[in-house]
Structure 1
Amino acid sequence: MNNESATRCGLVALVGRPNVGKSTLLNFLLEQKLSITSRKPQTTRQQVLGVKTVDSDQMIFVDTPGLHRNEPKAINKAMNRSATSAMSDVDLVLFLIDRAKWTEEDSWILEKIESASAPVALVINKMDLLDDPNSLLPELETLQARSNFAGVFPVSALRQKNLDVLESFVREQLPEGHHLFPEGQITNRTERFLAAELIREKIIRQLCDELPHTSAVEIEGFQSDDRGVLHISAIIFVERDGQKRIVIGTGGARLRSIGTEARRDMEKAFDNKVMLKLWVKVKSGWSDDIRALRSLGLEGDT
């Protein structure tokens, strides 16, 4: 193959425990919001592919749910399966940790990662939260000694520090091959999926202290009218009547606020005028019901 015309393409899995910044890193690498984020762990529930094409290189990032040792419900088991499956058949694994605060869960995850055939790079995120970045230097050698990492990269995804160095490294690891996605496409997910995720993000952000991870969103309607306005209708599922009252709020105020913020983000994401309608329904025990998870698209990531 002629080196001047050779194209490179590879799959890169973003793996780590919950809330280490995998989705934030993906969004800033893509220079576009794709994965939802919040301060609450386990915000990401399913694999999301983010595609970035630069010249002849195509990087396909796989954002995964945070791996966690406890699996109290079916949804937790499904999230772990989704994250673990992402490590098979990829060309590179980016293992994210939080500011060199190594935990037992990080050790557990590293054991899983080491069974993958792909090289693994350690990414130390949230460096902006260190008062003295140089204080990390003594830890780097210790971290490097934990495994035969292909590289160690201290970064701040939120402040976009050192991301150019990380991206250059990723591009160097890509194997030669044809691009799997056309230039300009940034994900394999549908607009319906992204709409549901944006609604769920607003629920988590506005109600993280009042509502645990027992809500899900299903898009019922998604179509444009003659004027080009996108009409989206969605159901928010919760597990108990009390949670339904929390999501709706006094006089419907909270539901309107969730809808307003979600609609604004949808209009940015879809570059289109959006009319959004939301309903809240109780679906008891959905998060521990395999059939319910499948009906909501939360089982069977590939």
Structure 2
Amino acid sequence: MTIDMVVADKNTFIRWAVEQPQLPVFFQPWYLDAVCSNGQWQAHLYQNDKGTIEGVLVYYLTTKYKRPVIIMPMLTPYSGIWMTPATAEKEVYKTRNINKIVAELAHSIPSDVVLYRQSFLPEFNNWMAFYWQRYFQTTRYTFVIEDLKQWSLNDAATNVRNKINKASALITITEDIPLEKVYQMADDILTQKGIQLQWKQDAFMRWDEVLNKHSKRFIVGAKDSDGRVHAAAYVIVDQATAYLMILASDKVLRKSGAVPLVIYHAIMKAAKVATRFDFEGSMLASLFDLFSGFGGKLTPYHSIYKTKNLFWQLAYHYKMRKDNLNR
């Protein structure tokens, strides 16, 4: 007789992931390899009594002050648990099974970890099993266009449409934007606000190389007649969703309307390869009007955390503050 069980088995996960066309890009082994260079990643697998994998927990394990912590790796908006599509017919059995899977995976998190924090996919909408194990949760929000095939510029706010139309007459859209320029603009914006970008240029270039190799990204930029880059949108795509990962603009030229223009063209390009567009945040008040102005649905997602003691609780809140400033 076999029983449901959770195993920590990275190699099995790597083989299994190849056969999962719906597995989000941020859960792919090659993506985790690219963003977890300063630590290691692990995968825990929930198997039912027939040996079928029904859920996985992936996480980035590193150290802070020589103690093990699980945190979000660089350039990764979502991590944590992903479950295969439910097969139970009745809602009651689906809910019970999901709770069971989440509870077992949460219980499998190493007990010596002093700080745990992961942001889960918006589809992960039941964190009760974490709550029962004395984890805490913060609700965060993104905007999502659920059906790109049905979306048009008419769905955007009037002020957004006006800016796009005005910028279209002055600026040319191109995909020929140097990566160094994207990084520089992103870094300049934060530096102007007294904030340090959390990823170095060499790490950013290696990350992009991996995404480009797997054909999982595109860049949309805006240039004027003098060749000056006004703004750029860096988008990651998987089989279902396009994610607006980086939105960068020239601090001097940003008033040209290039930012909403590149977002619009990123959405139109994404519609050719994906069904959804996730603005990937942000919780920044300065971006609320811009992102909401494209008519996406305000969508919550869970940031789940746990700390060993007061010191690590303070460390968690400090880390969250830095992350919020970067987003």
TM surpasses 0.5: no
TM-score, normalised by the number of residues in structure 2 = 0.27
Give the TM-score of the pair, scaled to structure 1.
0.29
In terms of fraction of residues, the more strand-rich structure is 2
